[in-house]
Amino acid sequence: LNAQVIEGKEIARSIRNRVRETVETLFAERSPRLVSLLIGGEDPSSKVYLANQQKTAAKAGIDYRRVELPDQVSEREALEVIAGLNGDPQTQGVIIQRPLPEHLDPLGLIRAVHPDKDVEGLHPSNLGAIAHGRPRLVPCTAEAAILLFRSLDRPVKGLEVVVVGHSEIVGKPIALLLVHELATVTICHIGTRDLASHTRRADLLFVATGVPGLIRGEDVKPGAVVIDIGINAVEVDEGGKKRTRIVGDVDFESASRMADAITPVPGGVGPVTTAMLMENTLKAALFQRGE
């Protein structure tokens, strides 16, 4: 292993502390409230996220609440609940947990959240603000991934950046944010013909596909910075016992021999993402106060 490992836990801790200090100074009367809307019960995959959100909120001084709706809730009823949260002066941030039951359109619900309470940064007006180069609330994972790179204190201008994955929560906002800083950005996805020919050119490589081990050492440019956003649960055989392990989209072993710096999974982008959710809640609270 040659690469510097960019530890997310440290960065997450400093974000949480900063949020808590600001909350204590500016919101001494009442902490900003983050409401997590959970429809149809806890999915096994979101269980860990929810537990992490709750713990992180407590450490950041954010008042975290859950609102639960039954599986069969109609879209109209769900929209009414969201409208209620939009109008509730006690609620500063709203996050809609996914996966949602089949009959609900995620985009329909996301669009219903007031842009100033959209701490996930997914409302068209928040994504549009990024395209305009005036980000307000930015998707937490995209922001976290960029922040891990920034911790190295290197210039972005002129970098060859390759983003693998073009989702609204990760790939697209990362690309838009960095293009504004004059990086040359390539977005790759399932339709990309020769993925490795792109990733091998990248000075800075972001990977968010949900495919464990998609990127291997030979796909990485020597000396590159690799930010692995993937979180995948895989079954591994440990001395005859089957166990579930969390791995990224990058094969850490081989990639860390090529890269100059790399994020681990777990302990990289994940904890910083949850910390950014708290920072976005604080930002949202400030917007709502007109600051």
Q: State the residues that interact with ligand NAD by CB under 6 A.
A: 141, 164-167, 169-171, 188-190, 192, 195, 208-211, 214, 229-232, 269-270, 273
Picking from 220, 185, 149, 197, the residue whose alpha carbon sits closest to that of residue 2 is 220
Minimum distance from residue 49 beta carbon to ligand NAD (Å): 8
Burial class (CB in 10 A: 0-12, 13-18, 19+), 249: buried
CB 188 within 8 A of CB 167: no
Looking at the Cβ atoms of 188 and 259, the one nearer to ligand NAD is 188
Minimum distance from residue 6 beta carbon to ligand NAD (Å): 13
Q: Which residue is nearest to ligand NAD (CB)?
A: 167
The Cα–Cα gap between 85 and 78 comes to 11
Looking at the Cβ atoms of 58 and 211, the one nearer to ligand NAD is 211
- Per DSSP, the residues of 70-128 read -TT--HHHHHHHHHHHHH-TT--EEEE-SSPPTTS-HHHHHHHS-GGGBTT--SHHHHH
Minimum distance from residue 151 beta carbon to ligand NAD (Å): 16
Looking at the Cβ atoms of 19 and 122, the one nearer to ligand NAD is 122
Looking at the Cβ atoms of 186 and 192, the one nearer to ligand NAD is 192
Minimum distance from residue 167 beta carbon to ligand NAD (Å): 3
